[in-house]
Structures are given as C-alpha cells and as structure tokens.
Chain A
Amino acid sequence: MSPPPFEVVVADHGPTVLRICRAIVGAHDAEDVWSEIFLAALAAYPRLEPDSNVRGWLATISHRKAIDQIRKSNRGPLPVKRLPEAPGRWGEPAPRDDDLWDAVASLPTKQRGAVLYHYVAGLPYAEVGQLLDSSEAAARQAAADGMRALRSTVTRETS
C-alpha cells in the first residue's frame, strides 16, 4: 500500500498528536510543537517506505520535537534518559477544565510517555519502549504505574 494523501495523515492523527503535545509541553507551546511535527513529517513523507507504520513514524517525530521543546524551555539540554523522574509540569497547565490532563502532565516522564504513547497514540509496548529508550517490559510497567497513579490522583480529586 502506498502512503495515503498527507491530508489523511493530518485528519487521522492530528488531534491525537495535539493531545500528546499538550500533555508533554503544555498548552502554551503545544500548537507550535504540533506545527513543527507536521511540517517535518510533510517534508519527510515522500521518503516513507510503502507499508510503513505511519502512527509509529509520526510518534517518533513527535517525541523528538517534544524533547527539543522541553530542552529549549528548560535550563539546558538534557538527554531524555536523565530527565528527573519526579513529577514535573512543562509549560502551562492543561488547557481544558480537565483534572485528568493535569494529572497526566504531572506524571513522571517515563510513566507519562508510556501512558500517552500506548493509550493515546495506540502504539504497542515494543514501540513505546523504543521511543522511551527502554524495554518493552519496562514500558508496560511504566504504563501500568502511570495508570495506577492517575487512578489515585483523579479519584482523590473527584471524591
């Protein structure tokens, strides 16, 4: 199968990428990062092999651009592996009156990435592991930990 028109890629994946951008870099920078992601994807699109996994390819570009943005808005460049595994929020709070997105944004980096890339982007754990520079098992564990943390945070806030 040859790649679909890029318009289809934007329609199919644009909203998901925007949600992930908001959760990772904050609402303030999300649209700038989204624009960088899709412009970079558009530039590279003709070189994408037929039968490629568009979702995974786009997730890789998104992850890279989000990391770039985090580096820009933080003190200095830090490799992702050494970002503090402590709760932290990038940029401004989630844009909507949604406790959930605040909670997602507050997750430790790995857990947040695992939850977003698996549950929102829909990637299998093997690919999530690659994106996060860890193993499939570690990605699965991080997603499970993340969901557990969300459960306690969101339940506490709503009760």
Chain B
Amino acid sequence: MTFERDILTRMNQHDDESVESMARLHARLVEAASSEDLLDVAYRILDTPVGSLLLAATTVGVVRIAFDAQGHDAVLDDLARRVRPRVLRAPSRLDPAARQLDEYFSGRRHSFELPLDLQLAHGFRRLVLGRLADLDYGSTASYAAVAVALGNPKVVRAVGTACATNPVPVVVPCHRVVRSDGSAGGYVGGVEAKRALLALETANRP
C-alpha cells in the first residue's frame, strides 16, 4: 500500500504554483462578488500601535472593528452568524477606514468621517454609542456622566455594557469613557490598549 500512499500524497500536495493560483483566484472572486453584489461583509487586517485590528464593512459602512484580544477568527465567525455568511477578505472596501485609522494613530486625525453600520448594536446600547460621538478628542467622561447625559443616572451599568460590546471601537470612542475615580476601567481591546489610545490623544490634543 506504500504506492497508494505515495500517490495520495502527490495528489494532495500544495505546490508554489497552486499558492500563486489561489492568490489570483481569490482576487478574481472578490472582484466578481463585488460586481454581482454578493460581498456582504468585506474585511482586512490593519497593523496599528495597539496591535492588529480587524476591520469589517458591509455595503452600508464599517460594521466591526476588533482587537487581537477578541480573537479575529471568532469575530469573523460572529459576523458570519449575525450579519451574513458571505464574508471575504477584501481590503479595498476598507481603504478609507484604514487610511483614517492610520492618520488617527499618527496623531493627525481627531475625528472620523466614515459611514457606519451599527446593526450589531441594538436599542439602548446603540443610543449610548450615538452619545459617545459627542466626546471630544483628548477628553474623557465617566460612565456616570454619560448616564446622566442620557437622562438617567441609574443606567450607569448599562453604559458600561454598551462600551464593552461596542462593535466599532476606536471610531466610536468608548475608550474616552473612564471610571469616576479617573482610572481607565475596562476596555474591549484590553486596558493596555485603552491607556495607549488615551495617551495618544493627550499627546496630540489641539
């Protein structure tokens, strides 16, 4: 049976040519999928000072930004389940987001002008995210203050949950919401990332 095993190995091996072919075929598939409106979720990975970020967009806008700590594969699975399973690595749809994030991380950009798709945030959480857009670059507010701004001091815990489940962190600046004692508090990308973002903004504050 060694002959059979040998044949099977030879039939199933990857060669350089097939790797090249796959890159070409993948690009061709993405192009065809875009033009036939079959690309429901496009994504790319962006290297940043706070680690690699997964950026994902529907045809409506940016739907998800995720840190390494969240597990990119798990996030892609989640997108397939909660948005649509037609998820492909297709960087060009994310070019504007990647460019603006690069500018943000270099300190040159203080606000984002990107269409967002907030379908992964529902009800009250979505309301909170809308409110966070009012927080200026380089400033912070406490969870309690955001609750008060929403008209109900009792919802402070719900504000924390909305921040913890923010589908588009950085662009919707939940990192600017901190504890009342001034400490950073938790963050969807880990507390180190939160501190780094706050430090970046403090250094580049207008």
| Chain A interface residues (CB < 8 Å from chain B) | 2-8, 10, 14-16, 18-19, 31, 34-35, 38-39, 42-43, 45-46, 48, 95-96, 98, 100, 104, 119-120, 147, 150-151, 154-155
Contacts and interface: CB of A to CB of B under 8 A. Distances in A.
Contacts, number: 96
A96 B13 CA distance: 12
Contacts of B41: 5
A105 B8 CA distance: 15
Contacts of A18: 18, 21-22, 25
A6 B28 contact: no
A156 to B, nearest CB: 13
| Among all A-B residue pairs, the 4 with the closest Cβ atoms | A5-B87, A5-B80, A5-B76, A3-B85
B77 A35 contact: no
Contacts of B14: 15
B4 A98 contact: no
B22 A15 contact: yes
27 contacts: A3-B80, A4-B85, A5-B77, A5-B80, A6-B88, A7-B88, A8-B76, A15-B14, A15-B22, A18-B21, A18-B25, A19-B12, A19-B18, A31-B21, A31-B28, A35-B28, A39-B36, A46-B40, A46-B84, A46-B86, A98-B10, A119-B11, A120-B11, A120-B12, A150-B7, A151-B3, A151-B4
A42 B33 contact: yes
A100 B7 contact: yes
A106 to B, nearest CB: 14
A154 B36 CA distance: 44
Interface residues on B, range: 35 or more
A48 B11 CA distance: 29
A98 B9 CA distance: 13
Contacts of B88: 5-7, 10, 42
Given A42-B86, A147-B4, 15 more contacts: A2-B80, A3-B85, A5-B85, A6-B85, A7-B88, A10-B88, A15-B22, A18-B21, A35-B32, A38-B25, A39-B33, A42-B29, A46-B85, A104-B11, A151-B4
A104 B24 CA distance: 25
A48 B85 CA distance: 10
B13 to A, nearest CB: 9
B181 interface: no
Contact of A39 (B12, B29, B43): B29
Contacts of B79: 5
A6 B7 contact: no
B81 interface: yes
Interface string B64-84: 000000000000110111001
B80 to A, nearest CB: 4
A24 to B, nearest CB: 13
Contacts of A39: 29, 32-33, 36, 38
A107 B8 CA distance: 16
Contacts of A147: 4, 7
B22 A14 contact: yes
Contacts of B24: 31
A150 B24 CA distance: 31
Nearest to B41: A5
